[in-house]
Amino acid sequence: MKKTWLVTGGAGFIGGNFIYHILSAHDDVDVVCVDSLTYAGNLSTLAGAMNDPRFAFVRADIRDCDAMRGVFAEHKPTAVVNFAAESHVDRSIKDPGIFISTNVTGTQVLMDCCLEFGTERFHQVSTDEVYGDLPLDRPDLFFTEDTPLDPSSPYSASKAAADLLALAYRRTYGLNVTISRCSNNYGPYQFPEKLIPLTIANALEGRRLPVYGKGENVRDWLYVEDHCRAIDAVIDRGKPGEVYNIGGHNEMRNIDIVKKICNLLGKPHDLIEFVADRKGHDLRYAIDPTKAKRELGWEPKTKFVDGIKSTVEWYLSHESWWREIISGEYKEYYRKMYGGKS
C-alpha cells in the first residue's frame, strides 16, 4: 500500500535532512512537507526535492487547525513526523511565548488531526534536553528513557510538555504515538545560530568565536544522518507509546569543538572569545542509546572525526546557502544576542 508521510518543519535543519533520507531510502513513501518558513526555515534547503514527483511542499503553520485539516484531507498521510518547532534555547530565554505556542499547541493540533483523519502513526521528534542536565564530575551517569523529565529552559520545558501530551493522547485516545529524544545534531543545513555552524561561519569571516562561560559544558554530538536513520527505524520498528533515546556516546566540551573547527579551517585559536554564560546553562548531556540498539538495531555510523570534517567541507562548498541567511533578519538577532563583542 502506498504510504504518505507528513513531515513538519522540513525546511529546517533535521527535517530537511530527513526528507532527503526518506526520498532516497524508501521508494514506496511519498512525502508532504508542511513548514511555515519562520526565520529558521529555508526553501533553498529543499531545492533538491522540489522536482521529485513523490514530494510536495505546503507552506502552513502547524498551529492553524483549518490549514492542517485541509492538508490531512487532501494528502491523507499514513504517518506524521513532527519536527516543526522553535528550536533555539537562547531565543527561548529571550522570548518564551512562541515556544509554548508552536511546540505545545502545534503538537496538539497535529495529533487532533491524526485522530480525526485516522492517521496510523504520529512520531514526535523530541530532545535529550527534556531530562535536564547531568553533573560534569559524574561521567558514569547517562540519560535513559526512565530518567525523570526535568527541563531547564523554556525551550526544553515546551518540548517536555509536548512529549507528555503525546503520551496522554496515546493513553486517552489510543493514538499510535512514538517519541525519539536525540542528543545534539550537526551536519549540513544547520542554521548558523547554533554552536557548530556559527563557529564555522564566524571563523570563515574572521569574526570572534563566542564561547559561553568557560566552554566546559558538554554535549553528546550526533551526525544528522544518523538521527534520520534512527527516526526511520522508530517509525518502522518502534512500539506504540514508547520513547527511544538516540545518541552516539560522543561527548565533547564546547571549547574543544570550537578549537577543532579552528584547526580544520586553519584559523587561530585567539579568535575565541569567552562571553557571558547562558542563563540556566545545562552542564552536560549524555544519552544511553541501549534501548534503540536492542529494540531497533540502530547504531550511529558516522564517527565525529569524519562527520565534522564533512560538515566543515559542506559549509565551505555551500557559502551562498549560509551567507544569504546571515545577511538578513539574523544580523539583527546577532547584534542583540552578542552585542558588539563578537
Provide the 10 A C-beta neighbour count for residue 318.
13
Per DSSP, which regions of the chain are E strands? 3-8, 29-35, 55-59, 79-82, 121-127, 177-182, 184-186, 209-212, 218-223, 243-246, 251-253, 272-275
Which residues inside 276-305 make contact with ligand DAU, applying CB under 6 A?
Answer: 278, 285
Closest approach, Cβ 200 to ligand NAD, in A, equals 15
Q: Is 36 in the site for ligand NAD (CB under 6 A)?
A: yes
Closest approach, Cβ 128 to ligand DAU, in A, equals 5
219 binds, among ligand NAD, ligand DAU, none (CB under 5 to 8 A by kind): ligand DAU
254 binds, among ligand NAD, ligand DAU, none (CB under 5 to 8 A by kind): ligand DAU
DSSP letter string over 292-312? IIIII-------HHHHHHHHH
Q: Which amino acid is at 324?
A: E
DSSP H or E run through 342: none
CA 105 to chain CA mean position, Å: 18
Residue environment code for 39-62, b if the CB has 16+ CB neighbours within 10 A, otherwise e:
ebbbeebbeebeeeebbbbbebbb
Binding-site residue total for ligand DAU (CB under 6 A)? 19
d(CA 309, CA 305) in angstroms, rounded, equals 6
For the chain, the maximum distance between any two Cα atoms, rounded to a whole number of angstroms, is 58
Which residues inside 161-220 make contact with ligand DAU, applying CB under 6 A?
Answer: 183-184, 194-195, 198, 210-212, 217, 219
Q: Is 251 in the site for ligand NAD (CB under 6 A)?
A: no
Q: Is 128 in the site for ligand DAU (CB under 6 A)?
A: yes
63 binds, among ligand NAD, ligand DAU, none (CB under 5 to 8 A by kind): ligand NAD
Based on CB atoms, which residue is closest to ligand DAU, 128 or 251? 128
11 binds, among ligand DAU, ligand NAD, none (CB under 5 to 8 A by kind): ligand NAD
Q: First-to-last CA distance in the chain?
A: 54
Binding site for ligand NAD (CB under 6 A): 8-9, 11-15, 34-38, 40-41, 61-63, 83-87, 102, 106, 125, 127, 159, 182, 184-185, 191
Binding site for ligand DAU (CB under 6 A): 87-89, 127-129, 183-184, 194-195, 198, 210-212, 217, 219, 254, 278, 285
